[in-house]
A and B are shown apart, each in its own frame.
Chain A
Amino acid sequence: MATAAASPRTGTEPVLSVRNLAIDYQTRKGDIPAVRDVTFDLRRGETLAIVGESGCGKSTVAFALIGFLGKNGRISGGSVEFLGQDLTGLDEEQLRRIRGNNISMVYQDPTSALNPSLRVGVQLAEILTEHNEECGEKEAYEQCVAMLEHVHMPDSKKMMERYPHQLSGGQRQRVIIAGGLLNHPALLIMDEPTTALDVTIEATVLDLVQEIKEKFNTAVLFITHDLGVVARVADRVAVMYAGEVVEEAPIKELFANPLHPYTRGLLACIPRAGAFKRDTVLQSIVGVVPPPNALPSGCAFEPRCPYGEERSRDEHPEFRPLNGNHSVRCHFAEEIAAGTKSLDERKVHIPAAAVAEPGETILEATDLKTYYAQKGRGLFGLGEKSVVKACDDVDFSLRAGQTLGLVGESGSGKSTVAKTILGLEPVTGGQIEFMGLDLKGTVDDRASKTLKLLQMVFQSPDATLNPTMKVGSAIARTVAKLTDTPHKSVRGRVIELLDSVKLGERYYDRLPRQLSGGEKQRVAIARALAGNPNLIVADEPTSALDVSVQAAVLNLLLEIQSENNTAFILITHDLNVVLYLADWIAVMYLGHIVDYGPREAFLKPPHHPYTEALLSAIPLPDPSVEPKKVRLEGTIPSAIDPPKGCVFNTRCPRYIGDICHTDPKIHHLENGQMIACHHDIEYLAAVDPVIDFDEVQEPTLLVP
């Protein structure tokens, strides 16, 4: 949700003025320019978001502002003026006085930012007493409690006495934000503060960032890679590529009218809210981000730019303002704005629209239960055992050629469902029927005939390949184990698979550490395809990847689906991606499926209250759409002791009363939707829709 571009209390003097900032890292092989030319201004009460993919230098800029560049980093050019003072010339002691006092920083991982051996109150009070000599203990305590109230921490007095490990991730991040605000800094830098948090908690933290900006009139520098988060939180956006700012504009202007080809590419490859694979495609840009020690002379984006020309290779474009508040670093910005610049279509990857006809039902899960028994607390592990009900009474079915999206936050049990179907975890109760076979037992009991039909693509590209095995050998081994391919033709088959994921023969002998994240994930997909599976389970396949790589991988999955009629189970927390890719969606909470149905059913009510909260929490990459605000209190309860009855009753915004402590009614609608809730369907159908999908802007595609 975006606020007006200028808050009424915005001052005229910029708090932070960065001009042509350049930062180098000194390595054994010479200086690497991590940041080459960054220029921006930041005023009080304003949020500037710096957006870019990995390696563009955005975090480096943040570290440079507070002098945390490390031994081998140094500011090699430009100036940083903070409240009139040049930060580049200051020594460590002077910087130390500014840090935590006038400039505060909030990092990505809230767990490692707090000292686990000190109470929260002690850590917060320390921030005050360190910087203000007159501030006594009692006064510091009171100010901390007041600040915790400002960040909506429930029961702030008790929180002061707790240790960090007793807090949840969202609460820890709030503590850190509170700590950052204690000295009323002029500038608050936030480096990906919500990446490690669940979607619903992220939404509450982003609301908080909006609020504090207004309450305390702080300037906020928000660094992220997520364009949805940017749309919700920022007033202005600066897009960085290869160490330079390539475009800067107010938020609505940037999304409505992106001028730099890179920004246009980024916006074209994220699925807009409500987009569906049958209607639109994700257009991605070809090529790779150049490494900082091998930057092209001239325009850094030229090798990948569909508008590039001779001129872009020779001349390095200047960062110049276009219409008032919109600045671009591109030779052809005016022509692109007018729509008169011609496009080289070879530099845009336009996938064919995915059309896969649904076939017969290949997977059916009935009353699936997966419980993990914990060791009892007595001696030798005897004594009463507690049970983690990771997955409880799950029902769904899947047809060939279709995609089932399993959505849920951490602790919802979606990964457990995947592992159980694949056989990595044993089934505790219920039944899974796959291609007519009853899947019991674990992977070790299954024949290779069954194994090859059911494969998985894992979440983390770094852990998905054995670092000591060559890419070709890994795939070859899979081919050899799962199929009857004769020994001589294995290599040929591996190369076929590498081609199908657009990698090619020269990747055969590479080791995983020579590949990028996207390449590793594609190798993993090639490996999963080795036996021509009927069902591929993809567990968050793209959450660790950059936005444009994500688009390429998703396109690849769609292509595989339409060519081989493979069924997919896509597990993710990103509702945006699910609404784009999935034919059927199941929403999971604490091991139960609470909402299940065809994709269209999720575009309008009736929804399960949890689905409503999820829809409201997705950061939509569209600042003009404002979803209805539905926020959840608290955190997901423990799976060892789940709430009785409807498991959502501790956080449900539509909580009725005692009836919620009994098992919920299951509603079956005609379109196939299933909702587990005590409310009547008429009530749920009558609520306002969370997102008006008709309001969503059409994306500016690269190739219309």
Chain B
Amino acid sequence: MDPLRLEMAPEQPPRKPPVETAVPPVPGAPAVALPTGVAPAASLQLPWYKRLWEGTIPLRTSRVGMVGFAIVAFWALVAILGPVLARYDPGDQVVAPIPKGATLLDLPGGAFPSTKPYREDNPDTPEDETVLGYVLTNSGPSSSAWLGTDDRGRDVYSRLVIGARQVMVIAPLSILIGAVVGILLGLAAGYYGGWIDEILMRILDAIIAFPIIVVLLLIVSSIGASRFTVIAAIAVASIPGVARLARSLTLDLRTRDYVSAARLRGENAMYIMVREIFPNASGPIIIDLTLRVGYAVFAIATLGFLGLGLPPPTPDWGSMVAEGRNFVTTNAWAALFPATAIATLVVGLNLMADGIRQESARYR
């Protein structure tokens, strides 16, 4: 039974579609215009882009899913328009002019002198090179720094925006890699069964037995922290989950009659797995992958928080939270904004997955 069907509302009495009851008129007889089947749905003979649009119906018809999609789309847009939206370079410091006559002691706590040149978009930076400026550190939202600055004086807003790029590229990419490997392993384990299944599953069980953070740490700390290793670590950590799901779907689908029919016409195992089984398993897998992208966002943030993520000064939401953590009592903004960004993105992805799952159960 399709696992998605279990989500249907239980009180709905079974609504069977009308069943065709017999054969068209005797051939050779004058044509009587009788309908011989269910009226064809509009999706016959449609071009590919229209069919793709139809494929997104489960998402579009779900309010929950659309809310999630809106959030994710917002962050995707931010990521795409990153350099345009950012006000400063992520590594740049925000500078304010020292008022006439003021000394260092009059400045807000933590400020230190700056030798930065004038910046057009920060009218506060002293134009005149003789006027000294100070770096605005740990400050709340202001006109020069919309979301405040961190303890090094960097603009949180710009770092958030550029950081979105990192997350929105690395998370889906790592899950995609994990998915490809996981699906292949899962299909093979489910279809062949026997020793192949036992060996593959036990290896994957070994990986899944460790808490995911430990797995990530093991991989990243052994091969060093970089963008590539973060992607690799998250991909490896997600393989067992995807493989298990693909395997259980395959175990169910391989008993279907159309798979037997394929065997009866001499198809080989590869064809059956790829063309008969996988397209019918893709629904639940896609939902799972959407959720996993959320987990990946969280994993990247965690790695960044632990200092094992992308190397500084790459703006990474997780490390931004880590750095801001030390100053939470004086300036919570530096940690709060990246944390909120992480939260909203993960929630958005979860809502999308929920919405798709609810609607595809009803749609089928």
Contact = CB atoms under 8 A, between A and B. Distances in A.
A516 B22 contact: no
Contacts of B20: 288-289, 516-519, 549
B257 A59 contact: no
B12 A459 contact: no
Given A71-B12, A346-B29, A509-B45, A456 B264 contact: yes
Interface size class of B (residues with CB under 8 A): 35 or more
A569 to B, nearest CB: 14
Given A468-B280, A481-B266, A515-B37, A346 B25 contact: yes
Contacts of A551: 22
A552 B266 contact: no
Nearest to A547: B21
Contacts of B25: 286, 346-347, 349
Contacts of A530: 265
A516 B19 contact: yes
Contacts of B22: 284-288, 304, 349, 518, 548-549, 551-552
A303 interface: yes
B100 interface: no
Interface in A381-437: 422-424
A166 interface: no
Given A59-B13, A444-B263, A286 B18 contact: no
Contacts of A477: 265
A564 interface: no
A463 B255 CA distance: 9
A530 B265 CA distance: 10
Interface stretch (A62-70, A353-361, A485-493, A578-586): A62-70
A510 to B, nearest CB: 6
Interface in A518-538: 518-519, 524, 527, 530-531
Given A424-B260, A458-B261, 16 more contacts: A71-B11, A286-B24, A288-B19, A288-B20, A289-B20, A304-B34, A451-B266, A456-B260, A458-B257, A502-B23, A518-B22, A519-B20, A524-B261, A548-B21, A548-B22, A549-B20
Those 4 A-B pairs whose CB atoms lie nearest each other, nearest first: A516-B20, A458-B257, A468-B279, A55-B18
Interface string A447-463: 01001101110111001
B21 A518 contact: yes
Contacts of B32: 286, 346-347
B36 interface: yes
A54 B257 contact: no
A455 B19 CA distance: 26
B256 interface: yes
B30 A481 contact: no
B102 interface: no
B15 interface: yes
Contacts of B45: 509
B214 interface: no
A634 interface: no
Given A286-B25, A466-B280, A482-B266, A63 B13 contact: yes
Interface string A340-351: 000000110110
Contacts of A519: 20, 37
Contact of A552 (B11, B23, B26, B263): B23
B3 interface: no
B101 interface: no
Contacts of A424: 260, 263-264
B267 interface: yes
A25 B45 CA distance: 31
A165 interface: no
A595 interface: no
A566 B43 CA distance: 37
A477 B27 CA distance: 28
A478 B258 CA distance: 12
A55 to B, nearest CB: 4
Contacts of B27: 502
A478 B265 contact: yes
A545 B21 CA distance: 9
Nearest to A69: B13
A663 to B, nearest CB: 34
B17 to A, nearest CB: 7
A55 B17 CA distance: 6
A598 interface: no
Nearest to B15: A25
A448 B11 CA distance: 49
Contacts of A346: 25-26, 29-30, 32
A448 B23 contact: no
A444 B263 CA distance: 7
B16 interface: yes
Contacts of A515: 37-38
Contacts of A59: 13-14
B284 to A, nearest CB: 14
A530 B262 CA distance: 13
B6 interface: no
B206 interface: no
A546 B38 contact: no
A506 B36 CA distance: 11
Nearest to A288: B20
A516 B260 contact: no
B48 to A, nearest CB: 13
Contacts of A555: 23
Contacts of A524: 261
A552 B20 CA distance: 11
16 contacts: A53-B21, A59-B14, A63-B13, A286-B34, A294-B39, A424-B263, A443-B266, A458-B257, A464-B257, A481-B265, A502-B27, A514-B41, A518-B19, A518-B20, A524-B261, A549-B22
A250 to B, nearest CB: 26
B20 to A, nearest CB: 4
Contacts of A77: none
A530 B26 CA distance: 23
Given A71-B9, A284-B23, A463 B258 contact: yes
B211 interface: no
Interface in A562-597: none
Contacts of A89: none
A100 interface: no
A545 B77 CA distance: 52
Interface in A296-322: 303-304
A68 B14 CA distance: 11
A290 interface: yes
Contacts of A546: 19, 21
B258 A466 contact: yes
A514 B17 CA distance: 11
Interface string A543-559: 00110110110011000
A629 B37 CA distance: 42
A294 B35 CA distance: 12
A549 B19 contact: yes
Nearest to A424: B260
Nearest to B255: A463
B323 interface: no
A516 B23 CA distance: 12
A69 B19 CA distance: 21
Contacts of B19: 53-55, 288-289, 516-518, 545-546, 549
A349 B23 contact: yes
A481 B267 contact: yes
A528 B170 CA distance: 48
A292 interface: yes
Interface string A594-608: 000000000000000
B40 interface: yes
Contacts of A454: 264
Contacts of B15: 25
A258 interface: no
B151 interface: no
Nearest to A556: B23
Contacts of B17: 55, 291, 516
A654 interface: no
Contacts of B29: 346
A73 interface: yes
